[in-house]
Amino acid sequence: MDIRQLRDKILSFSLEDVDLGSQGYTRVLLQLFGYTGHGKSSFINSCMYVLEEGENFKEHAEAGETDHGLTMVRNAYPITDMITMVDNRGCSKMNDFERAEVYAQLGNFVPIGERVEWKDNYKAMMEALEISELEPNFSDFIVPIFVYRVRKQTSTESMQDVKTFMENCPKMTGIVPIVVLTFKTSADYLEIEKQFRLMGAETVIAIENYTKMSNIKTLGRTTDILMVIDSALRNVRFRLELPRNPKRERIERKKFMYNYIDQMKSHPERERMRVQPFYKRRERSVCGIY
């Protein structure tokens, strides 16, 4: 399949094309997660750029390379009539509450367009879950995508958090996260790919994002980015080959959230870390995103 065929395949994708039809889903939601400053927003810009004709690069999602990140609101960017990418809030130093907020974004319990706040108590988290029932979203087919910057150094504890996230995503969505390695030419991405494969990643694609300063389309860069989207859609087709119930699946995601919060409350070490002074937490670790 050449690059034009691959692009046309993505642009013409429809949930009705599979044998059992859409089964109640109305769009594919490509959910982007990762550390702050690892290139989630730049990846969205790159995806939109490769699906367009010509070389008129536009920065749809504000991108930055600092560890503080720029995305505070759960923003959505339609890349086709059927496919939307979501730039979720990234993290750099996390406690259990922030990890839970990441899962709340993954499960669509945080409305798109809403600012993501890191809560600091169990009651607030439970109330947010209940409020999400006012306008429940069960018609999005969720595909998790984990974006990781090759040249960043991440602690062992943080990588264990990533592994946990990789394991929990299929429990919530039925799909193992697609791993996108950014800045592929800046370090040995093959070694990082190996780490993610050992975590259970089934699809790992290394890319170079397009930017304002580097926007000349090349065959290799464009193909890599399109392959990420195509991999996501192949997961959707595979999952829709069997009967699905969007409402039931949302209930299962909510059960996961309740169980996760309950485990937080009953874990003494986590509770001790929660009340420990901030400077002491920093001494122990630079925590990961999940």
pLDDT at residue 152 in the model:
67
- pLDDT of residue 276 exceeding 50, the answer is no
Q: Among 111-115, 129-133, 191-195, which stretch is predicted with the lowest mean pLDDT?
A: 111-115
Read off the pLDDT of each residue in 169-185 and give the average, rounded to a whole number: 96
Q: Assess whether pLDDT exceeds 50 at residue 271.
A: no
Lowest average pLDDT, out of 146-160, 201-215, 244-258, goes to 146-160
Confidence of residue 274 (pLDDT cuts 50, 70, 90): very low
* CATH number of residue 68's parent domain: 3.40.50.300
pLDDT band at 100 (very low <50, low <70, confident <90, very high): confident
Residues 6+ apart with CB under 8 A from 216: 55
Query: Does the pLDDT value for residue 154 go beyond 90?
Result: no
Q: 242-253: per-residue pLDDT in tens?
A: 999 999 999 999
- CB 232 within 8 Å of CB 28: yes
Helix spans in 34-74 (H)? 40-50
pLDDT score at 284: 42
123 is a domain residue: yes
pLDDT tens digit sequence for 103-130 = 988 999 988 876 656 566 677 778 888 8
Contact present, 163 and 130 (Cβ < 8 Å): no
Asked if residue 14 belongs to a domain, the reply is no
Residue 254 lies in a domain: yes
> Is residue 269 scored above 60 in pLDDT?
no
pLDDT score of 277 more than 50 = no
Q: Quick one: pLDDT at residue 129?
A: 83
Alpha-carbon gap, residue 261 to 277, rounded angstroms:
22
> Is 290 among the domain residues?
no
User: Distance (Å, rounded) from C-alpha 157 to C-alpha 134?
Assistant: 37
Identify the CA nearest to 232 among candidates 39, 75, 15: 15
Model confidence pLDDT, tens digit, residues 2-58? 999 999 999 999 999 988 999 999 999 999 998 888 889 999 999 999 999 888 999
Q: Would you say residue 62 lies in a domain?
A: yes
Confidence class for position 200, pLDDT limits 50, 70, 90: very high
Strands 83-87 and 140-149: unpaired
The amino acid that residue 69 corresponds to is G
Which percentage of the chain shows pLDDT scores above 90?
Answer: 56
Q: How many domains does the chain have?
A: 1
Lowest mean pLDDT among 61-75, 142-156, 167-181: 61-75
Enter the DSSP assignment of 167. H
Residue 16 falls inside a structural domain: no
Kindly calculate the radius of gyration of the chain based on its CA atoms and give it in whole angstroms: 19
pTM of the model: 0.86
Report the chain's mean pLDDT, rounded to a whole number: 84
With a CB cutoff of 8 Å and minimum separation 6, the contacts of 60 are: 44, 45, 48, 77
- Is 57 strand, coil or helix? coil
Domain span holding position 109: 27-284
Q: Is the pLDDT of residue 163 over 70?
A: yes
pLDDT, tens only, 8-22: 999 999 999 988 999
Stronger pLDDT, 217 or 66, i.e. the higher one: 217
Taking the C-alpha atoms of residue 69 and residue 118, their distance in angstroms, rounded to an integer, is 15
Q: Is residue 207 part of a domain?
A: yes
Structural domain includes residue 212: yes
Higher-pLDDT residue of 75, 236: 236
